[in-house]
Structure 1
Amino acid sequence: MTDNLSRRGFFRQASGRGDVRRPPWTGDDFTDQCTRCNACIDACPEAILIRGDGGFPEIRFDVNGCTLCGDCVAVCEEAVFDTARPAFPWHASIQSHCLALAGIHCQSCQDACDYNAIQFPPRLGSAPRPELDTDACVGCGACLPACPNNAIALEVANG
């Protein structure tokens, strides 16, 4: 089974799809425990959980971020979720093609961030530049659809 998962990962990378993102508060054993009942997908008020590869729930931040409401946890009858762990293993990363880094006044990501992880301190004589507090970032993805230049990525936190 490990070989199949490795092959799947290889082909996912080759197709440009990248890593699959799972619902909040889940771990590496998610696919071993999830019964693919769709209860969490149906319960998600932001509609960011979708039925993905193999019928397992995946999270997509195309339109919304995760509000960490816990509705997915509340409806799950399996031991899939562990709210004692961080919600997500990733955090936001601001890429070099950010409009604000090019001197264009844009603070869309800050406006979308409920955790104040992205700030734009004033700068004398130029547009403010984003500063990201990775300790404050919960990885909710709210900043992704807000960015007009797709200049924010989610990266797995080290440590």
Structure 2
Amino acid sequence: MQDVDLSRRWFLRRGKPAGPQPVRPPWAETEHFTDLCTRCGACIAACVDGVLVAGDGGFPEAVFETGECSFCGDCANACPEPIFVSRALDPWQIVASIGEACLAAGGTYCRSCGDACPETAIGFEVTLGGRAKAQVDGEACSGCGACVSVCPVGAVRVAPAEEGAGHGR
């Protein structure tokens, strides 16, 4: 049973939360996550990468501003609830995206996100005028978030994959 009705909370705040929906732990059942999660914090305590934090209502969510997910599975192993699906499946359906604030798109040489990507899913296409445009290969992107914390201007985010944008790992 859900202790926190997030839809009510959003209604009282006059609408949906600003920005994208939170990224839940890898392999977590996201459709009914807030119904199944008891907010015990076991997955957060088990996260050796430090990317899981207590988010809105105390529910765990992944934030990549300080690091990346190594997909170790410790969060899933620590959870006492039936929230996590088989690790034989993709850990989640999220991919990186590069925003307009990207330094490379503005003509400044920067390849931080591409250098940090363990999947080599971020490449740079040189356009007219010698500017490079960062491009994410949605099929290769695992959604680990390694590219987020290294971006000097915060132009990279990891969010649910949009239709046709790839599926993650």
TM over 0.5: yes
Distance 1:125 1:14, change over 3 A: closer
Whether 1:144 aligns to 2:148 is: yes
Whether 1:158 aligns to 2:162 is: yes
Whether 1:52 aligns to 2:76 is: no
Q: In structure 2, what is the equivalent of residue 68 of structure 1?
A: 71
Q: Kindly provide the CA deviation profile for residues 127-157 of structure 1, in whole angstroms up to 9, marking residues without a partner as x.
A: 5432210111121221111111111123322
1:22 to 8, 21, 24: 24
How far apart are 1:99 and its partner, in Å? 0.6
**Using the alignment, how far apart are the partners of 1:5 and 1:91 within structure 2?**
25
1:43 to 43, 46, 59: 46
How far apart are 1:13 and its partner, in Å? 6.2
**Using the alignment, how far apart are the partners of 1:70 and 1:33 within structure 2?**
18
Contact 1:90 1:157 in 2 (8 A): yes
Contact 1:88 1:140 in 2 (8 A): no
Structure 2 residue identity aligned to 1:36: R
How far apart are 1:84 and its partner, in Å? 3.9
- Greater share of helix residues, 1 or 2? 1
After TM superposition, the structure 1 stretch with the greater mean CA deviation from structure 2, 137-146 or 85-94, is 85-94
Distance 1:18 1:125, change over 3 A: closer
Q: Give unmatched runs, 5+ long, in structure 2.
A: 164-169
Query: 1:100 aligns to what SS in structure 2?
Result: coil
Contact 2:10 2:17 in 1 (8 A): no
